[in-house]
């Protein structure tokens, strides 16, 4: 006959097993985020860095609309696996890594930007080269960027200049457009209307400037 097991020991074993399961799922989560490009530690601890990476993944995943709250539930795990299966893509043709900051290596991207770039690519009928995406604040400041740059919010991309201002405006997908005054070709697009600093711009009435 098996000896009686103290209730406290049973509870302790259950708590330990639950902690192991949580640690395992956190490691799986961290490994997935690292595969996609986020420079985070794989330590099994669901700390501030991991939650920030989850939140930015949720915000940038354009195949569906996830709540960007930093908590990884079944939908987020399914989205992570789907993105990995698709080669790290945040949308049909763009990868999360395409938007990494050249400074910290962090990725911040609004899904509205990825979706708008997909429409831009479809109108162009050719691949779109992303020259710059997110810029972390320290790198942006060190390289003379404006503190209120849309790149800092993950709502902007610099692209290879191939399309005219009129053609990009006609898409009605971007609320900020920068173009080359000499060639008339667009080099910057953003979706500031979807971010924290819209500046009153809309896709119907975008802010436009020349360099």
CA end-to-end distance (rounded Å), the chain: 85
Q: What is the pLDDT of residue 134?
A: 98
Report the distance separating Cα 203 and Cα 175, nearest Å.
Answer: 4
* pLDDT tens column, 33-54: 999 999 999 999 999 999 999 9
What's the confidence (pLDDT) of residue 10?
36
pLDDT of residue 12: 45
Q: Which band of pLDDT confidence, cut at 50, 70 and 90, is reported for residue 87?
A: very high
Give the three-state DSSP class for 49: helix
Q: Is the pLDDT assigned to residue 6 strictly greater than 90?
A: no
Q: What is the pTM of this model?
A: 0.88
Token pair belonging to 198: 């819209």
Write down the domain spans for the chain: 9-87, 89-211
Paired strand residues for 159:
130
pLDDT tens figures, 144-183: 999 999 999 999 999 999 999 999 999 999 999 999 999 9
In whole angstroms, give the CA distance from residue 16 to residue 182. Answer: 66
Give the pLDDT mean for 2-7.
Answer: 52
What fold is seen in the domain 89-211? Muramoyl-pentapeptide Carboxypeptidase; domain 2 (3.30.1380)
4 has pLDDT over 80: no
**Beta-carbon-side half-sphere exposure of residue 211 (alpha carbons within 13 Å):** 9
CA angle, 109 then 71 then 111, to 5°:
20
Q: What secondary structure letter does DSSP report for 103?
A: T
Mean of per-residue pLDDT scores for the chain? 91
Confidence of residue 21 (pLDDT cuts 50, 70, 90): very low
| Percent of the chain residues topping a pLDDT of 90 | 87
Mean pLDDT across 70-97:
97
Q: Does residue 2 carry a pLDDT above 50? A: no
H-state helical runs in the chain? 7-36, 48-60, 74-85, 111-124, 137-142, 150-153, 165-171
């Amino acid at each position: 006959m098996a000896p009686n097991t103290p209730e406290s020991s049973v509870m302790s074993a259950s708590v330990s097993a639950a902690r192991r399961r949580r640690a395992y799922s956190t490691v799986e989560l961290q490994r997935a985020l690292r595969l996609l490009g986020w420079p985070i530690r794989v330590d099994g601890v669901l700390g501030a860095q991991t939650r920030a990476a989850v939140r930015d993944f949720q915000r940038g995943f354009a195949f569906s609309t996830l709540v960007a709250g930093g908590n990884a539930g079944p939908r987020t795990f399914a989205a992570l696996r789907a993105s990995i299966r698709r080669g790290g893509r945040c949308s049909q043709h763009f990868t999360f890594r395409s938007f990494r900051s050249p400074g910290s290596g962090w990725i911040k991207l609004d899904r509205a930007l990825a979706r708008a770039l997909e429409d831009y690519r479809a109108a162009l009928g050719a691949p779109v080269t992303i020259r710059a995406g997110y810029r972390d604040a320290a790198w942006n400041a060190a390289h003379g960027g404006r503190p209120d740059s849309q790149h800092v919010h993950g709502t902007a991309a610099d692209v290879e200049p191939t399309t005219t201002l009129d053609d990009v405006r006609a898409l009605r997908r971007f609320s900020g457009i920068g173009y080359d005054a000499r060639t008339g070709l667009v080099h910057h697009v953003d979706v500031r209307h979807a971010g924290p600093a819209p500046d009153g711009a809309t896709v119907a009435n975008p802010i436009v400037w020349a360099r």
